[in-house]
Amino acid sequence: MNKAFPDNFLWGGATAANQLEGAYLTDGKGLSVADAMPGGKERFKIIGSKEFVWQIDEAKYRYPNHKGIDHYQRFKEDIALFAKMGFKCYRFSIAWSRIFPQGDEQTPNEKGLAFYDQLIDECLKYGIEPVVTISHYEMPLNLAKAYGGWKNRQLIDFYERFAAVVLNRYYKKVRYWMTFNEINSAFHFPALSQGMVPSNGGDDYQNIFQAWHHQFVASAKAVKIAHELDPAVQVGCMLIYATTYSYDANPINQVATLIANQEFNYFCGDVQIRGQYPAFTQRIFEKYGVTELDIVDGDLSLLADYPVDYIGFSYYMSMAVNETDPDPETSAGNLLGGVSNPFLKASEWGWQIDPAGLRIALNELYDRYQKPVFIVENGLGALDQPDENHYVADDYRIDYLRAHIEAMAEALQDGVDLMGYTPWGCIDLVSASTGEMSKRYGFIYVDLDDEGNGTCDRFEKKSFDWYKKVIASKGQDLS
Ligand code: BG6
């Protein structure tokens, strides 16, 4: 039993449009970069190859994001299930390509907006606070193909137009926003958030850092729009955070860990949260061969004037750094692999499970920035085995979540200002890294397999009742 969680704590769950909505061309939606990503374990290998040019080849590949879990048609049923669990909030994203199908239009697609009108009203009907990611690994494909993705400065205007439309339309109903999902993930993989693959410059750090600069400016513009509409609206950044340990006490590895943290965990956050490029910027640029960025007058003051209000972040696993071993054992991970940590067990996909690392992450982020933090993704991707009634006894998932909630309670007692917790994929959906359905995170089982077979019907898992009890008891009953 713990009494750490405040009454207004935002318990909920998280999803992203491209991974569950489906209906990829319905009601005027345009193609997105996610729609061009083939399903299966080879997904990153295919889109990371020099040959990949954002073409959809249905004769050769399956595209599971096209169907998602048919949330576009079934959202009322899904929100009702979230309400049954007692969600206080629901984090979802708005598909940019539903609102601006090509990305560069002047006027939005009213039918796309009508869908989010309904989705948001459905949440509010149950007293569920919507938490909206403006751009979650889904930008109009046209912006990647015709404009070269975020390295092109014109993207700032297109994003600003998109953000202005949705903020104006929903600011009275939606109080919590995030500008870009896992913005720092581009360090290893710019396809998802920057629309850049090797064939359009995604293999060049000059482009990645230039694209980030444009995203930082775009993010600041979104904060400005939101605050001018209503200063009480809160806009966060969204970082992928991997607590990073030195493999041992060797100072060489300690320094390597410091640098790994600066490069991956802190660079983007420092700009978005503190409003300025960190002191170590030049050092990183030298290491990655980045020459001066194209920064125009007014950019830096915009960053300084409109930092984010809170820190949204995802946490699934920790990392270890070992530079002194020329051939260390490695492990897989959330868009980034690393050195295996002998003290940790890994998920079936090789992600190293580390609840204590979450307590550390919360303390590190809060100590560094002194702004509220919000865990907007966390969870265990696992192979569920449903019985003949489609019931999944997912004790392994309950164990994972319980340990992470216990770590959150510790961090709250450490003094961290933690706003809420939205476990990832609260309903099973298409995996971002592999495009698999069989990598499941949900409290709700969706009858759909990797080949797209199944009824798509929803079934409550054992973790559904467990999480309902956790929320009802305000995090006190984790049994
Ligand atoms: C995060 C993303 O990286 O992790 C989500 O924001 C993603 O979009 C989640 O789905 C889990 O990763 P995966 O690859 O297991 O789906």
Q: Is position 182 annotated as part of the catalytic site?
A: yes
Which atom of ligand 1 has the smallest separation from the CA of 379?
11
Chain mean pLDDT for the chain: 96
Q: Is the pLDDT of residue 330 over 90?
A: no
pLDDT at 337 > cutoff 70? no
Q: 131 CA to middle of ligand 1, Å?
A: 17
Which residue has the CA at smallest separation from atom 2 of ligand 1? 432
pLDDT at 390: 97
Pocket test for ligand 1, best of 139, 400, 433, 434 (most atoms within 8 A of CB): 433
- Cα 422 to ligand 1 centroid, rounded to whole Å: 13
Expressed in angstroms and rounded, the spacing between residue 459 Cα and the centre of ligand 1 is: 22
Question: Which numbered atom of ligand 1 lies nearest the CA of 238?
Answer: 6
Give pLDDT tens digits for 16-68. Answer: 999 999 999 999 999 999 999 999 999 999 999 999 999 999 999 999 999 99
Minimum CA distance residue for ligand 1 atom 12? 432
Pocket of ligand 1, candidates 334, 380, 428: which has the most ligand atoms within 8 Å of its Cβ, to mutate?
Answer: 334
Q: Please, which pLDDT band fits residue 268 given cuts at 50, 70 and 90?
A: very high
Expressed in angstroms and rounded, the spacing between residue 28 Cα and the centre of ligand 1 is: 26
The residue contributing the CA closest to ligand 1 atom 14 is 433
Q: Whose CA is nearest to atom 10 of ligand 1?
A: 432
Catalytic residue, from 21, 138, 377, 436: name it: 377
Q: Which atom of ligand 1 is nearest to the CA of 434?
A: 14
Tell me the mean pLDDT in the region 90-102.
98
Which ligand 1 atom minimizes the distance to the CA of 192? Answer: 8
Residue 240 Cα to ligand 1 middle (Å): 10
What is the number of the ligand 1 atom nearest to the C-alpha of 349?
Answer: 15
User: Does the pLDDT of residue 329 top 90, yes or no?
Assistant: no
> For residue 439, which atom of ligand 1 is closest to its CA?
15
Residue 282 has pLDDT above 90, yes or no: yes
Q: What is the mean pLDDT of residues 296-325?
A: 96
Using the predicted structure, report yes or no on whether residue 105 has a pLDDT greater than 60.
Answer: yes
- pLDDT one-digit tens code per residue, 113-148: 999 999 999 999 999 999 999 999 999 999 999 999
Question: So what's the pLDDT on residue 234?
Answer: 98
User: Which ligand 1 atom is at minimum distance from the Cα of 381?
Assistant: 15
Q: What integer pLDDT is reported at residue 327 of this predicted model?
A: 86
Give, using CA atoms, the residue closest to atom 8 of ligand 1: 432
pLDDT in tens, 395-440: 999 999 999 999 999 999 999 999 999 999 999 999 999 999 999 9
Residue nearest to atom 5 of ligand 1 (CA): 432
Q: pLDDT for 398-410, tens place per residue?
A: 999 999 999 999 9
Please choose from 139, 380, 424 the residue to mutate so as to test ligand 1's pocket, defined by most ligand atoms within 8 A of CB.
424
Ligand 1 center from residue 84 Cα (angstroms): 25
pLDDT of residue 456 exceeding 80, the answer is yes
Supply the pLDDT for residue 1.
Answer: 46
pTM (2 decimals)? 0.98
Out of 122, 129, 138, 182, the active site residue is 182
- State the distance from the centre of ligand 1 to the C-alpha of 431, rounded, in angstroms: 6
State the distance from the centre of ligand 1 to the C-alpha of 14, rounded, in angstroms.
Answer: 10
pLDDT band at 335 (very low <50, low <70, confident <90, very high): low
Task: Give the 3-state secondary structure of the chain.
Answer: CCCCCCCCCEEEEECCHHHHCCCCCHHHCCCECHHHCCCCCCHHHHHCCCCCCCCCCCCCCCCHHHCCCCHHHHHHHHHHHHHHHCCCEEEEECCHHHHCCCCCCCCCCHHHHHHHHHHHHHHHHCCCEEEEEEECCCCEHHHHHCCCHHHCCHHHHHHHHHHHHHHHHHCCCCCEEEEECCHHHHHCCHHHHHCCCHHHCCCCHHHHHHHHHHHHHHHHHHHHHHHHHCCCCEEEEEEECCEEEECCCCHHHHHHHHHHHHHHHHHHHHHHHHCCCCCCHHHHHHHCCCCCCCCCCCHHHHHHHCCCCEEEEECCCEEEECCCCCCCCEECCCCCCEECCCCCCECCCCCECCHHHHHHHHHHHHHHHCCCEEEEECCCCECCCCCCCCCCCCHHHHHHHHHHHHHHHHHHHHCCCEEEECCECCECCCCCCCCCCCCECCCEEECCCCCCCCCCCEEECHHHHHHHHHHHCCCCCCC
Ligand 1 surroundings by CB, under 6 angstroms: 16, 19, 137, 181-182, 240, 314, 334-335, 377, 381, 424, 431-433, 439
Per-residue pLDDT band at 266 (split at 50, 70, 90) = very high
Ligand 1 center–CA 314 separation, angstroms:
9
